[in-house]
Amino acid sequence: MSTSPKNRPTTRPEIELDPNLTSLLNGFVYYIRVEKGMAENSVESYRRDVLDYLGWNGLPIEKHQAEQVGKYLAELVGAGLVNTSVARKRVALKQFFGFLADNGKDLKVDFDQIPKIRLSQHLPDFLDVETMLAFLDELPRETVLQRRNRAMLELLYCTGLRVSELLGLTTHDLNFGESVILVRGKGSKQRFVPFVDSVSDILKDYLGQTRPALLKLSQTDNLFLNNRGGKLTRMGFWKILRQAALEAGLKQEITPHTFRHSFATHLLEGGVNLRIVQVLLGHSSLNTTQIYTHVDTRYLLETHRMYHPRA
């Protein structure tokens, strides 16, 4: 399975700004991290978005104009950057210039003059029920690492967690008595997500047998550990998932979000109310969850064509 360039983790040198711009950017980062309580991954994305723009523009902040921001975003679209990423950059810049204006900067950046980025509707990638269950059922479980991997993937599909939420779990977040797990989502928001009995048995085995073997002499309450007893990273999880998909012979490329999309899609196909799915996914707005109604509609159309006597 190949990894597309847009999904392949990369490192690049940090852009150097003059001290004044650096100070403004640091103030903005403090604002969204501490005062707005934005999740750390989002903080870093916004920081990088603003940094890239400031490095591209190169002018003192007072000389920035809406026309320049619009030209920058248009160049990104022209270079082939997906619209969702460009839209996020526009939001980050709007937040940044709004922060500066609120703190007394005399600016000429009116975002009403900057066209919004049109987002193309696309269906989320997911596996059908049979493919997902076959993939999970065939996961090897002979070694310690294989049993850990199975526990992670089973829990990911059972709960629809984001990968950052999965890797942020601690042993204290599991409540076997109520069969729920405490999840810390975006913006430090918390929610409870249930898990089923079959996954409960897998987790109990992981905690009783597998995790102690990984923990060794380390001391941490992180739920999922690497082979050195430390916290598993996002990169480490990507490698695990990629290898599991290769070994299973999956033709469809899957990502951690494939599990989340599959979770939501399968619940909707089973008749679960959209608002329940919203709560389980941790979406603050129902609009974010609405994309799954397109998947649900497609399922209904396929079922109708398959079973209606006139089809």
Q: Give the active site residues.
A: 162, 186, 257, 260, 283, 292
Alpha helices, DSSP H, located in the chain:
19-30, 40-57, 66-78, 83-102, 129-137, 144-159, 163-167, 197-205, 211-215, 234-248, 256-269, 274-281, 286-289, 291-307
The token duo for 110 is: 């009116």
Write the DSSP symbol of residue 225: B
Report residue 224: phi and psi, to 5°.
Answer: -105, 130
Question: What CA–CA distance (Å, rounded) separates 282 from 293?
Answer: 17
Q: Provide CB contacts within 8 A for 11, sequence distance 6+.
A: none
Instruction: For residue 192, give the amino acid letter.
Output: F
| Residue 270: alpha-carbon gap to chain centroid | 24
Q: Is 60 exposed, middle or buried (0-12, 13-18, 19+ CB in 10 A)?
A: exposed
